[in-house]
Amino acid sequence: MSDLHDLTALEQGALVRRREVSPLELVDHYLERADRLDTVGAFVTLTPDLARARAAALADVPEDAGPLHGVPTAVKDLNLTAGVRTTFGSAAFADFVPEVSDGVVLALEAAGTVSLGKTSTPEVGSPCYTEPEGLPPAVTPWDRTRMAGGSSGGAAAAVAAGLVPFAQGSDGGGSIRIPASCCGLVGLKPTRGRISGFPMHGDPVGLATAGPIARTVRDAAAMLDVLAGRRVGDPSWAPPPSESFLASCDREPRRLRVARFSEPVLADSPLDPECRRAWEDASHLLERLGHDVVDVEVPLPREAVPVFETCWAVLTALTEVPPERESLLRPLTRWLAERGRAVSGPDFGLAIGAMRRYAADALAALAPYDAVLTPTLASPPLPVGAIRDDADPAADFARQKEFSPYTSAWNVTGMPAVSLPLHQTPDGLPVGVMLAARPAEEELLLGLAAQVEVAAPWSDRRPPGW
């Protein structure tokens, strides 16, 4: 018989509904693993007492329980969680305990999931690596000397190491898909407006959204069903799907037109041969599945990069840090915030307008295609510390762009995008490939991703220490 952590989140939920295992048994199983096996820097804060109390309260499973009722998960340390320390990955907020939970946490609770605690994130979720000050770095369990990516690095490390079956991340420039690629997982950035930013609505640009990190496409779809939906007061929202996102995984996609490109968007990065091989192999797989794969030009011009950087810097500057604690911020955060504060209000408005025009042009160029295929990253996961440079934040930022030159394009356009763990290097490092779809077409994207998973399954892969 399989161990509980060998099962998918949906399989665990089915056991709970059949009353073959209790939520408390699942929670105890994962808490024991987290306590014993978290050598990957996954958790910042574990909440065992809260988790066990909640699991006990969920023991009486209602007849209409959802597919994830009683299943353990975890919340990224950027998300407000009432009564639970939330540090935003920063020593400046080391003692902050919110009085309210945000919409993501409330949605997970309403679905009957049980959070084991808060997963590690870099300071204010900015870098594409997760190396928070004074804490262990988040590393990929496939090679614990290499990064888990960021900024949802702790969440991905937790799922990949079998410490939770699925976890929530957030993505403003690739922060779900980057760690998914580094850790051999499915990472989905939903379309803009799919998931509410309640109650802070803190991103006036529209780059960031929450989303799922999971081992299978179906688990990711089930989590998206939980997270999706508008709340009163949302400034904008995506149209609801015609059916559940989970159901879309069971619908065979029609013959699709898939655009592809491998030229980096953000920087002149050399593409690692293994990442190119993953992208080429995925192209051939899509063709064997009956889809038309067409080479296209990069849909965003290089002139869009400084506009994106202006918006990114201003968003960093919007983080409210008490003046007496600003000295605790990392050099990269201070450098970005200084750049952001140097942007005038009118210039920020012009940058948002310019970025929307670049996005509109890209959407028009890609409109004839049902999906877009690119590498997820320019290289397999790098050694810990390979990007971080506290002495030279500008060099740090430049290396981040070189490592992840593809992901932020879909934050600019608002398109849904998913990284799939289709490839491994000869020495066992995971390499993702990325598929994107038109705005609000997660159903098509998930149907295609599920078809790919059936054709080239990855669920039998287990990292060392599993």
Q: What are phi and psi of 43, to 5 degrees?
A: -105, 140
Residue 181: the pLDDT is 99
Beta bridge partners of 147: 139
Residue 272: the pLDDT is 98
pLDDT in tens, 385-427: 999 999 999 999 999 999 999 999 999 999 999 999 999 999 9
Containing 393, the helix (H) or strand (E) segment is helix 393-403
Rounded mean pLDDT, 285-290: 98
Rounded mean pLDDT, 369-398: 98
Contact 417, 407 (CB under 8 A): yes
Residue 358: pLDDT over 80: yes
Catalytic pick among 90, 126, 175, 269? 175
Longest dimension (CA), the chain: 63
Q: Is 22 a catalytic residue?
A: no
Q: Is 152 a catalytic residue?
A: no
Residue 149: the pLDDT is 98
Reading the block at residue 178, the tokens are: 């980057």
Rounded mean pLDDT, 234-253: 96
Query: How confident is the prediction for the chain on average, in pLDDT?
Result: 97
Confidence of residue 1 (pLDDT cuts 50, 70, 90): low
Residue 2: pLDDT over 90: no
Contact 12, 165 (CB under 8 A): yes
Cβ atoms within 10 Å of 194's Cβ, excluding its own: 27
Please state whether 41 falls in left (phi above 0), alpha (psi between -120 and 50) or beta: left
Residue 308: the pLDDT is 98
Q: pTM of this prediction? A: 0.98
pLDDT in tens, 16-31: 999 999 999 999 999 9
Residue 374: pLDDT over 90: yes
Rounded mean pLDDT, 116-135: 97
Q: What are phi and psi of 21, to 5 degrees?
A: -150, 150
pLDDT in tens, 300-337: 999 999 999 999 999 999 999 999 999 999 999 999 99
CA distance 409 to 417: 10
Residues 6+ apart with CB under 8 A from 375: 262, 271, 275, 276, 278, 279, 406, 432, 433, 434
Q: Is 175 a catalytic residue?
A: yes
**Quick check: helix, strand or coil at residue 130?**
coil
Contact 275, 429 (CB under 8 A): no
Class of domain 4-455: alpha beta
Confidence of residue 383 (pLDDT cuts 50, 70, 90): very high
Cβ atoms within 10 Å of 427's Cβ, excluding its own: 9
CA distance 326 to 23: 42
3-state helix, strand, coil in the chain (%, to 5): 40, 15, 45
Kind of pairing between the strands at 430-437 and 371-375: antiparallel
The domain segmentation of the chain, as residue ranges, is: 4-455
72: nearest Cα among 8, 27, 104, 35: 27
pLDDT in tens, 166-209: 999 999 999 999 999 999 999 999 999 999 999 999 999 999 99
Catalytic pick among 101, 120, 126, 151? 151
Rounded mean pLDDT, 225-247: 96
